[in-house]
C-alpha cells in the first residue's frame, strides 16, 4: 500500500490506493487544520480552503490530478500545495501538513524525511482474505434471483389478500398508487 510520510509529525502511514488524503490524516489523528480550519471547516467539500498540504517532491502520479475546485482555489498558492480533501493517494509521498503555518528548519525536515527510503508499496487493493471471495456464479445467481420478473422478485410483490390496491371483487392488482388508499 502507499505510504504517506507526514513530515511535520515524523510519521509514516499506510493507506489503500485511492484513499482520500484528508480522511487518512484525520483517521490517524493528524492535525490537518490551522486555527481557522479548527474553528470551522467544510468537512471535506472543498469549500473552506483550510486543509492545505504541501506535497513538494511528490511524483506526478502520487496523487489524483488537481480538481476543478483546486484549480480555482489554489491559484495564488505555491504549485506544490494541494487541498487534502480533494486529493486521492495513489503512490507513496511526503506530505507537509499546515504549510501556511511554517515549520522551523523546513528544508532540513524535508531532507531528513527524504533520507529514508519511501516504500513504494503495491498500487492495487489487496486481495480479499481466503473464503471471502465472491464467485461469478454467486453474483450471477444473485442477479437472477433479484431480476425483475423473476420468481423470487415476484414473490415479494405477490398481492396479499386484503392488501390495498386489490379489488375485492376482481382480485386484480396494479391500481395506480394514488388509488391505493
Ligand atoms: S476541508 Fe474544506 S476545503 Fe478541504
CA of 40 to the centre of ligand 1 (A): 10
3-state secondary structure 122-168: CCCCCCCCCCCCCCHHHHHHHHHHHCCCCHHHHHHHCCCCCCCCCCC
* Spatial contact of 51 and 67, defined as CB atoms under 8 Å apart: no
Judge if the beta carbon of residue 72 lies within 6 A of ligand 1: no
> Ligand 1: does its nearest atom lie under 6 Å from the Cβ of 87?
no
Is the pLDDT assigned to residue 181 strictly greater than 90?
no
CA distance 178 to 165: 10
Instruction: Give the pLDDT score at 139.
Output: 53
The length of the chain, given as a count of residues = 181
Q: Quick one: pLDDT band at residue 178, thresholds 50, 70, 90?
A: very low
17 lines ligand 1 (CB under 6 A): no
63 DSSP assignment = B
- Higher pLDDT: 123 or 142? It is 123
Residue 83 Cβ inside 6 Å of ligand 1? The answer reads: yes
CATH 3.10.20.30 holds for 3-115: yes
> Which atom belonging to ligand 1 lies closest to the Cα atom of 46?
3
What is the separation of C-alpha 6 from the centre of its chain, rounded to a whole number of angstroms? 19
- Overall pTM surpassing 0.75 (yes/no): no
Rounded to the nearest 5°, which phi and psi values hold at 53? -140, 155
* The pLDDT of residue 118: 82
Q: Is the CB of 165 under 6 A from ligand 1?
A: no
Burial class from Cβ neighbours inside 10 Å (0-12, 13-18, 19+) for residue 81 reads middle
Expressed in angstroms and rounded, the spacing between residue 37 Cα and the centre of ligand 1 is 8
Amino acid at each position: 500500500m502507499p505510504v504517506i510520510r507526514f513530515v511535520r509529525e515524523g510519521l509514516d502511514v499506510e493507506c489503500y490506493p485511492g484513499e482520500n488524503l484528508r480522511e487518512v490524516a484525520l483517521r490517524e489523528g493528524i492535525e490537518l487544520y490551522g486555527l481557522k480550519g479548527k474553528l470551522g471547516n467544510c468537512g471535506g467539500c472543498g469549500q473552506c480552503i483550510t486543509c492545505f498540504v504541501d506535497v513538494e517532491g511528490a511524483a506526478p502520479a502520487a496523487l489524483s490530478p488537481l480538481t476543478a475546485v483546486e484549480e480555482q482555489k489554489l491559484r495564488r498558492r505555491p504549485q506544490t500545495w494541494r487541498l487534502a480533501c480533494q486529493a486521492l493517494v495513489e503512490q507513496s509521498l511526503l506530505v507537509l501538513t499546515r504549510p501556511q503555518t511554517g515549520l522551523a528548519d523546513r528544508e532540513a525536515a524535508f531532507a531528513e524525511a527524504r533520507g529514508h527510503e519511501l516504500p513504494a508499496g503495491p498500487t492495487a487493493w489487496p486481495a480479499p482474505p481466503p473464503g471471502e471471495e465472491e464467485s461469478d456464479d454467486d453474483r450471477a445467481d444473485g442477479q437472477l434471483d433479484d431480476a425483475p420478473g423473476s420468481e423470487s422478485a415476484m414473490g415479494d410483490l405477490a398481492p396479499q389478500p386484503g392488501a390495498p390496491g386489490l379489488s375485492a371483487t376482481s382480485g386484480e392488482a396494479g391500481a395506480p398508487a394514488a388509488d391505493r388508499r
